[in-house]
Every structure is written in structure tokens, then in C-alpha cells.
Structure 1
Amino acid sequence: MEKVTGTIVSPKGFHGAGMHCGLKKRKKDLGWLYSDVPCQVAGVFTTNLVQAAPVTYTKALVKKGQAQVIIVNSGNANACTGEQGIQDTATMAQLAGAALAIDPSLVAVASTGVIGQLLPMDTMAQGIAKLAKEGSGRDFQQAILTTDTCEKSVVYQGKIAGRKITVAGCGKGSGMIHPNMATMLGFVTTDAAIEQTLLQELLAELTETTFNQITVDGDTSTNDMVLVLANGQAGNPCIQPNTVEYQAFKEILAAVLTTLAKAIAKDGEGATKLIEVVTRGALDDLQARMISKTIVGSPLVKTALFGKDPNWGRILCAIGYSGAELDVNQLTIRLGEIPVFTQGMPMIFSQEDMACYLENPELVIQVDLGDGTGQGRAWGCDLTYDYVKINALYHT
């Protein structure tokens, strides 16, 4: 397995494009991603009971097992738009299918942006008609962004049964991020051959330790969606469960999802630091993940680290209300490699060394409960003045 340069269309048989159609003032706001042949499709979606029209539409498509196109707009979430929003979603699929001469029933739809506004369908129709059939992966990656400050993409390659396979991913998300598979979208393409039910099981499993372990602000969006398309164009024998080939593919897919999850956490609205929490010694992995995500989601921890304040009491407090079982007298906390709390007692540490460490753009909090073998990670960012400014001025 190796990380390579490329885009979401690097796997064989995939194409993409993106453009500015007029939903946003200047930046790209409409894109599509499609395969030469129908793909096995897997998806995970927001657990928010208020779900945008594209979420309910695409969930139904994923249940059928195949897709060939993903059409995405940014700048308008098409959420809380009633029956008209449902009709507009279906129209987007029909327009994209017709433009690409692909069955509309194979077109997935995703939207992100402002909640509670109807899509301007004349604008959408004109834009879809102008989308390039042979554009670029980067154009698609840019077209899905809203308050993001950068593209988020990654490509890995490996060998399955002697054939080179490629797995590529891109995503968007900066605020309203607290997935329980914010506004968060993730798309993965691969030319590997794998059965749909196995792909769905893998995505659901890996989402728990990747996208579901990030948080920016504790808000779960109406539009969260992660889709994986597998078109089998690499020519490998279809991957079977509990095999060497399955494990190899799982590791590559996990690397793609982890990279995207961390990139989204790092690009939180107004963020200056990526925060990683590593918990070990819990009774099981689930409790370790609970602790890690609780810490990284604590507004007091996030603001302390923005202020470069080694306030480990806030970390200890978050551990205590995480819901995990623990014995505080067995507990150890480190900021980076600097112990600040060991087996129930505060530690004396060099203020100079700590100040130097907290200047880093990426910080690691290490927790060891000393009770078991469970371990888990979570990622987030600091909470800054700019986060408040961005969201105070963001039109609902």
C-alpha cells in the first residue's frame, strides 16, 4: 500500500467535473463524478432525524446496490424544503442522467450549504447542461466545498491478487461536524471488484473509527453522507470476506477514510490546531473511543488549547463525564509526551517545555486508564474567535 499523487478520478474508469453555476457568488458550486460502468455502491448517512431531501433520496438508491453517477451541489443544502425539495432532488438525478446518457435510477444526489432554501432549478438545469463530460477531479473536489479553506483528497494504491487497485477519496466539512453516520460529505472511488454487501459492511465498520471519531462543534448535520463507488475495472477477482485480499483492501480503505477524517477535523471553521486524542487501557475499544471523542469535543478543552493553556483539569473532567468506566487512581494524562497527571496525582512539568509544545499546529492528548486493553482515537480542532465570527454571520 502506498500513497500516490492523484484525485478522486484516479481509479480506472472514473471521470469528474465541476463548475460555477450561480448558487454561490464566485466559487465552484456544481459537480459530478461518474464511472464508465455501473458500480457497486455503499453509503452511510446522518443520524439526525431531520434529513435533507438528497439524503433520503440517495439512501433509497444505496439500498438497491448500484450507482454510476454522483451529482453534487454546494451553497444550498436542499434541507427542510418539503415535497418540493424531494421533487427537485429527483429532477437533479434525471437531468444528470440525461446529460450523461446514463439511467437516472443510477444517479446519487448530494447537497450542502444553507438550510431552508429551495434550489433555483432553472439555475441547476442550466448548470448541469454545461457540466463538462471530461473535466477534472480537482474541479469536482472544489465544487463540493462551502466554508472549507482547502480541498481534502487522498489516493492510495495497492495490489489485490497481483492486480494494482486504486482507492481515492475526497470530502468536505468544516463546521456542523459531529458525525454519527456535518455538514460533511465524503466520496470514495475504487476500481477494485468487491460485492456490494461486503463493501457496505466494510464502510459501516470503518466509519465508526474514522468519520464518527471526529468533531468540530458537536453539531450533527442534516446532510451528512459518505458514498463509496466500486466499478471493478482493475480486473482483480471479486474480493471475498475473510481472505488476504479482503484484509489488504480493508487496510487501504481505512487509510483513505482516516486521512479524510483528519483533514476535515483539521480544517474546522476558524481552527488553528488539529487535536488528536489517543486513549489506551480502557475496558474495551468502544469505551476508549467514547473517552477520546468526549475530550476532543469539550468546548473547555478546545478553548484551552487555542489559548495554549495546559489545563489538564478540563481533560480530566471530560473523561469523568464520558460515560466510560474508570478508576482515577489508575489514570495517566500526557500532553504530547509530557506527563501532567499520573495515577491520581498532578505532575510537576517544565512550563517552558509545555509552552513550546503547545505552539505546534498539531497536538496529541494521551490518556491511559490502566484498566484493560481497549484503545481508541478521535480528532478535532481548537475553538477560536473566528469560529464564533463565521457562524454568527452565517445565514441560516
Structure 2
Amino acid sequence: MEIIKEKSELKKIINGSILSPLGYKAGGVHAGLRYTKKDLGIILSEVPASCAAVYTKNIFNAAPLQVTKNSISIEKKLQAIIVNSACANACTGKRGLEDAYEMRSSTSKAFGISEHLVAVASTGVIGEFLDMQKIKQGINLLNPVAETCGAADFETAILTTDTVTKNTAYSTYIDGVKVTAGGAAKGSGMIHPNMATMLGFVTTDANISSDALQSALSMVTNQTFNQITVDGDTSTNDMVIVMANGQAGNKVLDENHPEWQKFIELLKLTSEELAKQIARDGEGATRLIEVNVSGCRTNEDAQMAAKTIVGSNLVKTAVFGADGNWGRVIAAMGRSGITFNPEDVTICFGETVVLNHSEPVSFSEETVTDYLKKDSVVINVLLEEGKGAGTAWGCDLTYDYVKINGSYRS
């Protein structure tokens, strides 16, 4: 769907997905790893694509991550990403690694591409082995297509405790041609990147080198995926992978290209939208929380403070209870690790100022309570230390979070 009216505009594509960029197919099937739902999916580029990836900082790197790192290291190209849910294939030793390589090999044979052009991703329960007979049978059942149904099948196949699929796409013009980025993701609990129990997949038809793409992804990730938190836990499996197949036909992008910043913004908006969808779908969550911190000495300080606030269990429970307790925000700020003057802090819940230059102010409790009951809640914190600014996203902490995680394997 063409939605850009002016070549200078960067626009969100209605009903966009990983198939919005040119030259991609996707699909998903029920391989039998889950009871009834789809559990195996694939993204396939028509041609080998430049690629980039970022990975969990958990010292336990699951077998799929190790295989994907190996694939990318050989040529810095990918053509397919194979993903299963229901089993993380993490902490599974030698057999787990062999299974991940077999998953890569089976995919390469089924679609006639070199093994090192296949990335592997898994999500689900840690410490259980993959049922490789079902995996291989499922790979042979995959029939990726370029239609919307292919993207929807893939998005469904990668879910675990998620309640909704996650997708987006944006377009812009670079060198006078339309360039598009689309994404799909999964993630609901155990979310506290650097990375977490989260898988993110971005496709683009931009013409860009793998090195430049890696530079762009690393920078954008720090402002988007690494600024969400649900429960403070970091998983073993998670990563974000970007494929860029060059089908848009723009001149090769790198940091010296005059429209490089357009591509950065395209990738950032795509990543930010996926990150916010993950935060909104936190296990048991009823509200998306956005925390904006400004006036810090550096952007990094602001990002750290924002993430500390949005990750505070006391802040999260206050939002769930619609309690305008700004003291919990101050407490989180104080332990965030950044340096600031505690005598000059302003806090707002939405448009309502609840603390002004560290002086309590009168405000309508009813107004704040009503605001905190909205689907999306914004907390703004203003300091007077500099021009640094940062944003983080999270969700409220509810009774259902305990229910879901108390019976995760049941």
C-alpha cells in the first residue's frame, strides 16, 4: 500500500508487517511443539541480505544464539530466519547445540540456500530439549508467501505467553526511491533488556552494508529495545535481527550518505514501535507506562534514570492501583546511579504537576487517579543538570503476573 504523499515524509504503514518491504516471504505452521497453536515460523528473503544482530547480555547464551552468531560471522549475510516457540533450547548442553545446527541445516535444505545464510531463534521453556522430529517435519511443511497471511502466521508462531501479535512498518524516501522497514516481535515476561525474553525481527529493502547496518542497529537498540522493562529479569535466548536485501534500489547507505539520518529514523521508529508493543503486553499488564526524564547531564544518565523508574515494582504497583504516590518515583530516581541535585526535581503525572522543584504542591487526587487508570500513562521527570533526555517503557505489575509465572510450565 502506497501511503507516502510527499517524498520528504516518513510515514507509518497501515497494517504494516515484515512483508511490507520488497522481496520477503514469511509463514508459520503447527509443528506439534505446542498443543494446537502455530509454533514454527520462517522469514525468507528472495536474495541474500545484509544483516545485523544484537543479543542478550545473559552469560547463558542459548544454543540458537550461538548458531546465529556463527552464521553471521561467515559472510555477514542472511537469507532466512527460522524460529520456534514452546522450547528455548537453552542450557541444553552439547545436544542442544547439535539440535540448533540441525535446525539450521534442515532449513537450508528445505529452501535451497547455504547453511550459513540461516539464522536460528527459539523461545519457550529453558532446560528442555527440542523435539527434532517435529521440528524437521514442521520445516518441510512451511510454505512462506508474500501475502499478509504469511506475516500473520509467522507472528503467531513465535508467541509464548504473549496475548497479542506484534508488528509494524514504516516507509520513507532515500535517493528518491521508497525505502521500507517492517518488524515482528514477541515478548511478554522476563523482559529487562539488554536483551531479554524477547525476539525482534526487522526486514528492510534498503541497500546498506552489513557493517553500517550493525552500527545503526546497535545505536537504535540502546534507545528502544534496551529501554523497556517488564519484570527486571533477563533471559538466555533473545536477540534482534535485521535483514536488508537492497531491493529498494537506493544508493548504498553508510554513515557518509547524505540521507543516512533518514534511515536511522526509519529503523528507530520501527524498533520503538515494537518495543512499546512488547512493554504494553507485559504478562498480566493493564497499562503501558512511559517515563520521560529530561535535564540530565547526559542522555545516558536520562535513559538510566527513566529505566530505573519504569522498572520499579513500587512505581508499577502504584500505577496498577491508580495511586498518585510520587514518592515512589523520587525513591527510584535516588537509586538510579546518576548524579543530580535532589533539591531541584519536578515530577508530572501526565499534565498534572505533583512535585515542583522538589517542593510538594497541591493537586487533585481524583484527577491523577483518573489519569492513572488510562491505558497509557506518562510520567515526566525534569531536572536542571543539563540537556540530556531519555525515555523508557514498561507496564504495571498486577495479580495476574504472579498467576501466569506461577504456572508457566503447567
Q: TM-score range by the shorter chain?
A: over 0.9
1:295 corresponds to: 309
Separation of aligned partners in 2, 1:227 and 1:240: 18
* Equivalent position to 1:369, from 372, 383, 390: 383
Question: Aligned with 2:42: secondary structure?
Answer: strand
Question: Which amino acid in the other structure matches residue 30 of structure 2?
Answer: H
Q: Are 2:122 and 1:111 equivalent residues in the alignment?
A: yes
**What are the Cα deviations for residues 39-81 of structure 1, in whole angstroms up to 9, with x where unaligned?**
0010000000011100111122223311100000000000000
Separation of aligned partners in 1, 2:303 and 2:156: 32
* Equivalent position to 2:155, from 141, 155, 165: 141
Contact 1:77 1:115 in 2 (8 A): yes
Structure 1 segment 5-44 matched on structure 2, within 5 A: 5-44=15-54
* Equivalent position to 1:220, from 213, 234, 246: 234
TM-score in terms of structure 1 length: 0.98
1:2 corresponds to: 11
- Tell me by how many angstroms 1:11 deviates: 1.1
Question: Aligned with 1:114: secondary structure?
Answer: coil
2:86 corresponds to: 75
Separation of aligned partners in 1, 2:232 and 2:162: 17
Greater Cα offset, 235-244 or 251-260: 235-244
2:265 corresponds to: 251
Question: Aligned with 1:177: secondary structure?
Answer: coil
- Tell me by how many angstroms 1:150 deviates: 0.6
Question: Aligned with 2:136: secondary structure?
Answer: helix
RMSD over equivalenced CA pairs, Å? 1.0
- Equivalenced residues, count: 396
Separation of aligned partners in 1, 2:249 and 2:60: 41
Greater Cα offset, 59-68 or 371-380: 59-68
**What are the Cα deviations for residues 214-266 of structure 1, in whole angstroms up to 9, with x where unaligned?**
00000011011100000001111111313332111111111000000000000
Q: Are 2:401 and 1:392 equivalent residues in the alignment?
A: no
Question: Which amino acid in the other structure matches residue 52 of structure 1?
Answer: A
Contact 1:18 1:31 in 2 (8 A): yes
Question: Which amino acid in the other structure matches residue 134 of structure 2?
Answer: T
Contact 1:8 1:141 in 2 (8 A): no
**What are the Cα deviations for residues 115-146 of structure 1, in whole angstroms up to 9, with x where unaligned?**
00000111111111111143711111111111
**What are the Cα deviations for residues 161-206 of structure 1, in whole angstroms up to 9, with x where unaligned?**
0111110011000000001142100000011100110000000001
Separation of aligned partners in 2, 1:298 and 1:12: 41
Question: Which amino acid in the other structure matches residue 2 of structure 1?
Answer: K
Separation of aligned partners in 1, 2:41 and 2:87: 13
Greater Cα offset, 299-308 or 238-247: 238-247
1:129 corresponds to: 140
**What are the Cα deviations for residues 289-325 of structure 1, in whole angstroms up to 9, with x where unaligned?**
0110000000011011101111111110000000010
2:244 corresponds to: 230
Separation of aligned partners in 2, 1:183 and 1:240: 31
Question: Which amino acid in the other structure matches residue 275 of structure 1?
Answer: I
Greater Cα offset, 340-349 or 256-265: 340-349
Contact 2:32 2:39 in 1 (8 A): yes
Q: Are 2:288 and 1:274 equivalent residues in the alignment?
A: yes
TM-score in terms of structure 2 length: 0.95
Separation of aligned partners in 1, 2:331 and 2:373: 23
Question: Which amino acid in the other structure matches residue 45 of structure 1?
Answer: Y
Contact 1:213 1:379 in 2 (8 A): yes
Separation of aligned partners in 1, 2:227 and 2:356: 25
**Using a 3 Å threshold, how does the CA distance of structure 1 residues 279 and 133 change in structure 2: closer, same or farther?**
closer
Q: Are 2:365 and 1:351 equivalent residues in the alignment?
A: yes
Structure 1: any 5+ residue segments left out of the alignment? none
Separation of aligned partners in 2, 1:376 and 1:7: 27
Separation of aligned partners in 2, 1:220 and 1:209: 17
Contact 2:195 2:235 in 1 (8 A): no
Separation of aligned partners in 2, 1:78 and 1:188: 23
**What are the Cα deviations for residues 310-369 of structure 1, in whole angstroms up to 9, with x where unaligned?**
111111000000001011111111111111111222111012211221121100110011
Q: Are 2:99 and 1:88 equivalent residues in the alignment?
A: yes
Structure 2: any 5+ residue segments left out of the alignment? 1-9
Separation of aligned partners in 2, 1:240 and 1:383: 42
Structure 1 segment 56-67 matched on structure 2, within 5 A: 56-64=66-74, 65-67=76-78
* Equivalent position to 2:299, from 263, 285, 299: 285
Question: Which amino acid in the other structure matches residue 319 of structure 2?
Answer: L
